[in-house]
Amino acid sequence: MSSSKSEAMLIDGKAIAQELTESLVHQVTQLKQKNITPGLAVVLVGEDPASQVYVRNKGKMAEKIGLHSVQFSLPAITSEADILKRIEALNEDPAIHGILVQLPLPDHIDSAKVLRLIRPEKDVDGFHPVNVGLLAAGLNGQALIPCTPAGCVILAKRHRGEDLSGLEAVIIGRSNIVGKPVAQLLLQENCTTTIVHSRTKNLAQHIGRADILVACLGRARFVKGDWIKPGATIIDVGINRIDAPEKGPGKTRLVGDVDFDNALSIAGAITPVPGGVGPMTIAMLMQNVVTAAQRFSKQ
């Protein structure tokens, strides 16, 4: 008698992001009735190809939902002083509700200094120390929340339902951009939250307890299938390019931080790479621009 294991549900980030953007179109229309068009300014410094793709995608999405979107593409040799001047001008511009500086910046520019200069109420990436502090204090209604972590929680709820209380959440990675903020958000959802990282002992043991696993460490297929708790919800934030000889010489493909093929027969649900977390990040960025404009309209 042969018994076949059922495969994990695929959590379709593209489809969920599409639903979100449809609701944003409606919110933008309401703001335009009050003579406010949400405005996003993106500052791109240098020629990093991945950054250029991200910025292009953000611009397309902004246009689609009816935002006023401007992009400043500056050469890599631009001085820190010139970038700070540009940020100050955007801070003062009433037509701009959200400012995004695409990272990484060239080495001669102090990223922390640039990000700190953006007004917290226009910081749509959620990286300003004020927004970080508001999130840590659980004052999400006053903060702008980092986009990828906010998207991760929505994706987890698609499989687990709105109430995540009591679930074990394990986050692999402790970056300020994803690991720490997603831990804060899951804590606020009443999960029992653990952050593990490169120095954690008995890593597989911690991962094996996770009802919700968020992998954001940036190492291709690091999490093995047999580490995963059967039925777990896996949110794979990793975007790693690996060789793909099967597609031809010199070809590559994208994979996540989780060994997808092996996880598929064990997990309850998993986000694919690409097409999982990525589209949600851009949708949440647009949400932050609209939220910033809504708060501005109430002032």
> Phi/psi of residue 44, each to 5°?
-120, 125
> Phi/psi of residue 237, each to 5°?
-90, -15
- Whether residue 64 is found in the same domain as residue 150: no
Per the domain annotation, does 14 fall within a domain?
Answer: no
Per the domain annotation, does 153 fall within a domain?
Answer: yes
- Whether residue 169 is found in the same domain as residue 231: yes
The candidate with the shortest Cα–Cα distance to 253, out of 245, 243, 265, is 243
Q: Please tell me the predicted confidence (pLDDT) of residue 207.
A: 98
CATH number of 150's domain: 3.40.50.720
Q: Please tell me the predicted confidence (pLDDT) of residue 2.
A: 39
- How many structural domains are present in the chain? 2
- Whether residue 117 is found in the same domain as residue 150: no
Per the domain annotation, does 135 fall within a domain?
Answer: no
Per the domain annotation, does 290 fall within a domain?
Answer: no
Q: Please tell me the predicted confidence (pLDDT) of residue 49.
A: 86
Catalytic residues: 58, 102, 125
Residue by residue, pLDDT tens for the chain (299 residues) are: 334 468 999 999 999 999 999 999 999 999 999 999 999 999 999 988 888 888 999 999 999 999 999 999 999 999 999 999 999 999 999 999 999 999 999 999 999 999 999 999 999 999 999 999 999 999 999 999 999 999 999 999 999 999 999 999 999 999 999 999 999 999 999 999 999 998 999 999 999 999 999 999 999 999 999 999 999 999 999 999 999 999 999 999 999 999 999 999 999 999 999 999 999 999 999 999 999 999 999 98
Domain of residue 51: give its range.
35-122
Given a contact cutoff of 8 angstroms between Cβ atoms, the answer to whether 74 and 83 are in contact is: yes
- Whether residue 181 is found in the same domain as residue 261: yes
- Whether residue 180 is found in the same domain as residue 82: no
Q: Please tell me the predicted confidence (pLDDT) of residue 5.
A: 61
| Stated pTM of the model | 0.95
CATH number of 84's domain: 3.40.50.10860
Per the domain annotation, does 28 fall within a domain?
Answer: no
Given a contact cutoff of 8 angstroms between Cβ atoms, the answer to whether 208 and 168 are in contact is: no
DSSP code at position 122: G
Rounded-to-5 percentages of helix, strand, coil across the chain: 45, 15, 40
Per the domain annotation, does 215 fall within a domain?
Answer: yes
